[in-house]
Amino acid sequence: MSALRALGMRVRARRWTVAAATLAAFGLYQASILCILVAGLGGAPNYLRTYPLWENARRIVGRTPSATDTVVLIAREPLLEYGRRHPDFGVAVWSFELTWSSLLFFVSFSALVGLYLGIGARAARWGAAGSLSGAGVVGLLGASVSSLTHCGLGSFGVLLAVAGISASTIQWSARLEPVLIPAGYALIVLAILSRARGLASARALAVA
């Protein structure tokens, strides 16, 4: 039996487990962002703002002649924003915006992590990078650099600042985005395929 066929059968058999693991990964990631922002920038959020999504999208489509520019602008549109305002001056102390592009990343990344956790098979041995920890660390690091840039330096930058790392080092870290994001996805996909090979091997032994 091929690894992909074994993976498909496993996913169908454990689809609710995969879905639950995906939701848990998404929730834990959002919670970690909130914790970093609260700890790094001093204070729990005290406001939440939602945006007129479809109205904004229609406005962009109607006023933007280039299809490429339309996609880019819509991807950058915020869905919601939360943060903390200064109690006396009313200005934002910090804020975080969830955009269409960041939501797409969070959902897709969480789905891969949920798939890895949900199928629950032993991974075949293909090196240290085959573990979820190896894939997850690289992917989450890339996500922090890529998608958390709507709150000043981004929550990853805030975390580095709290750790005492210089601002120049924080700015340099943004250059890692084109490498870290694909690497994170690739490592998780490889980890899933490794588990799929383990499933195929286990089924072959059971049949034998």
Asked whether the beta carbons of 85 and 47 are under 8 A apart, the reply is yes
Estimate the crossing angle of helix 132-147 against helix 154-162, to 10 degrees: 110
Question: Residue 24's pLDDT band (boundaries 50, 70, 90)?
Answer: very high
**Interatomic CA distance for residues 129 and 126, integer angstroms:** 8
* Global confidence as pTM: 0.75
Token duo for residue 206: 């059971």
**Interatomic CA distance for residues 208 and 206, integer angstroms:** 5
- Number of neighbours of residue 87 by Cβ within 10 angstroms: 9
Q: Is the pLDDT of residue 144 over 90?
A: no
3-state secondary structure of 86: coil
pLDDT of 70: 92
Question: Per residue in 176-193, pLDDT tens?
Answer: 666 666 777 777 787 788
Token duo for residue 42: 């001093």
Highest mean pLDDT out of 1-5, 21-25, 116-120, 141-145? 21-25
Question: Residue 109's pLDDT band (boundaries 50, 70, 90)?
Answer: confident
pLDDT of 148: 45
pLDDT of 130: 47
**Interatomic CA distance for residues 86 and 47, integer angstroms:** 11
Q: Is the pLDDT of residue 30 over 80?
A: yes
